[in-house]
A and B are shown apart, each in its own frame.
Chain A
Amino acid sequence: MKHKISALFLGTALAFAAGGVALAQDKTVKIGVLTDNSGLYSDLGGAGSTLAAQMAVEDSGLAAKGWKIDIISADHQNKPDIATTIARQWIDVEKVDIFMDVLNSGVALAVNNLVKEKNSIMINTGAATSDLTNAQCSPNTIHWVYDTYMLANSTGQALVKAGGDTWYFLTADYAFGHALERDTTAVVVKAGGKVIGGVKHPLNSSDFSSFLLQAQASKAKIIGMANAGGDTTNTIKQASEFGIVAGGQKLAGLLLFITDVHSLGLKVAQGLNFTETFYWDLNDGTRAFSKRFSERMKNKAMPSMVQAGVYSGLIHYFKTIDAMGGNPHDGAKVVAKMKETPTDDALFGKGTIRADGRKIHPAYLFEVKKPAESKGPWDYYKLIGTTPGEQAFRPLSESACPLVKK
């Protein structure tokens, strides 16, 4: 009897162990690219993010090692409620392991909560709000490309140093705009500048003339645009019409993507300063990837930093689960492992992922070239300065993230 029981125990233990091995060797991954496929941000994420994910899968070489990797994509229409509905279905029904892109700060914060609750993974490359790695940080989320703190820190500081000590904000009236304005204000004040006013405009406004007139009347030296996508391009276009820059005020694009510059044209965009963490023409690695990317894009566009981030984030994820020997489908466990491993890829160079989920890499301050300086299509940026990764992002000592031990 005793033998029987111990045999039973042994058998059960073995079965569990075998199950454990089978689990560890599960070589299936499902990637969900949750993005804006049809709205105002679809050029900087959208189909390009899905393409970047496909390229990461192809370049990872995991298929040859017997991995089965699927990608699905959906349009969250920039609505947090739609995004969480899709995300819930992806986790429960589709068994998605990892969420990529998830641009739009409102959407990102909503999906962030769900991903934590369901122990899934989000590598956010599209949303800007620095809250993702601050008060709302999560053991399941990595914020990959950029955030409002870094944008404010890099562009804000550079402009105040160059004499732009009075600011007026044009702010998109939702989570992202508020975060960007808040973070930039902190930087401006710290650097000795002053914010003398601002206006919060609804997302996706087509006419900015009223707001620009108020900014003009404020006599602030810098008009900070805490908005993105179509809102920013229309602001810049209409500011040039109202002679704002000619009148001596300077426009600060706090968040501008290469797709925005492309759509504005150099004639209107020339001279703008702003920060990005990726540009296709930075080095041989970025050029090689971008060339392959652009050949496969429908309109031959170069990758935005959001799309480049999808590639870079997935490459690191694949390396990690490959090293783990299989996909444990345990989000927090994989993310913890990703944080332990230094990152290194052709697009963002060497970097790390901090305890709060912040991916660390350098930030670049660019200026848009004059039409005469541009040698061809997509040759738009001049590199003005580089901030090393450790200085670009919010220091851990200032972090309100509960994951950071103090």
Chain B
Amino acid sequence: MQALYAQLLVGLINGSFYALLSLGLAVIFGMLNIINFAHGALYMMGAFCAYFLLHLTGMGYWWALIIAPIAVGVFGMILERTMLQWLTGLDHLYGLLLTFGIALIVQGVFQNYFGSSGLPYAIPDYPQIGDCSPSAPQDAFCRRGLQGGINLGFMFLPVYRGWVVIFSLVVCLATWFLIEKTRLGAYLRAATENPTLVRAFGINVPRMITLTYGLGVGLAALAGVLSAPINQVRPLMGADLIIVVFAVVVIGGMGSIMGSIITGFALGVIEGLTKYFYPEASNTVVFVLMVLVLLVKPTGLTGRAA
């Protein structure tokens, strides 16, 4: 039974990655109508950005959490301005193909320079709280950043994983709030419904769209930074994940913000349980679920019919 609790918690942790990534996808699809296949590559760029910041400038994890999403977000906005904006009004397929091509190019370039096995990135060991000097007595309290773990009785929870869940939850809810509950979000939603009308009110719709794409991309990069200390920083880290994340978005209902957050966490848990009961199926369980959900409710769990 204890092992089961542990698996549930681990599932929740993985779910927070799915939620963060699928949230960005849902925002981009909901507002721009683009199926952003470059999301995995941008997630990978976020992790690499953290690596570069540490190894080239000495700026650690905490700086990376702020700088990487902004840097990759700006890259995303350039993409949107130079390429994606020409696809406005066209079929979804064109966006899908273009972003898929972008993803292949970005991954290929990174792989060419950094190989496939990846680069090391350690869990941050600062700020240090308490007495962590080498001469400190054995029983002195020392907390080195997010390293180490806590014994919960039923499992050993790495502090870093706990941090990831809490941080992702906060970011997810903040994004949901921004889009569903603020005036800016209302403009945005209105702009996707009827751009001509919104423009008539004097609102710069293209700029809003660019910023939204930047926001979605920033969320992917943020997930990348969060994942760097857990997974190897590898060029294909996004490619391995993107299909699962798409399944999450489809199950949650394309473009539904809350749907993708809830489904992200839920699927993490379901996948974790599969890894416990029948590990061989853990890579496919998400797709089985997707098929089942689409058979019963083609718009996804929380999606509205178009």
Binding site for B on A (CB under 8 A): 38-44, 46, 173, 199-202, 204-207, 209-211, 213-214, 216-217, 229-230, 233-234, 237-238, 241-243, 247, 259-260, 262-265, 267-268, 298-299, 301
Contact = CB atoms under 8 A, between A and B. Distances in A.
Given A204-B240, A237-B231, A229 B117 contact: yes
A201 B237 CA distance: 17
19 contacts: A39-B116, A41-B116, A201-B275, A201-B282, A206-B237, A206-B241, A209-B13, A211-B275, A213-B6, A216-B156, A237-B231, A241-B160, A242-B149, A242-B156, A242-B158, A243-B149, A259-B117, A263-B118, A267-B122
A352 B241 CA distance: 45
Given A40-B116, A237-B231, A267-B122, A200 B280 contact: yes
Given A206-B237, A264-B120, A241 B115 contact: no
Given A202-B282, A210-B7, A230-B232, A42 B115 contact: yes
Given A206-B240, A263-B232, A301-B115, A241 B283 contact: no
Contacts, number: 119
Given A206-B241, A237-B230, 12 more contacts: A40-B116, A199-B279, A205-B282, A207-B230, A210-B11, A211-B275, A213-B155, A229-B116, A230-B234, A241-B123, A263-B119, A299-B113
Given A210-B7, A213-B7, A241 B114 contact: no
B276 interface: yes
Interface residues of B, number: 43
A200 B277 CA distance: 11
B39 interface: no
A128 B14 CA distance: 31
B34 to A, nearest CB: 25
B117 A262 contact: yes
A247 B279 contact: no
A210 B119 CA distance: 23
A39 to B, nearest CB: 7
B192 interface: no
B272 A206 contact: no
A217 B3 CA distance: 7
B111 interface: yes
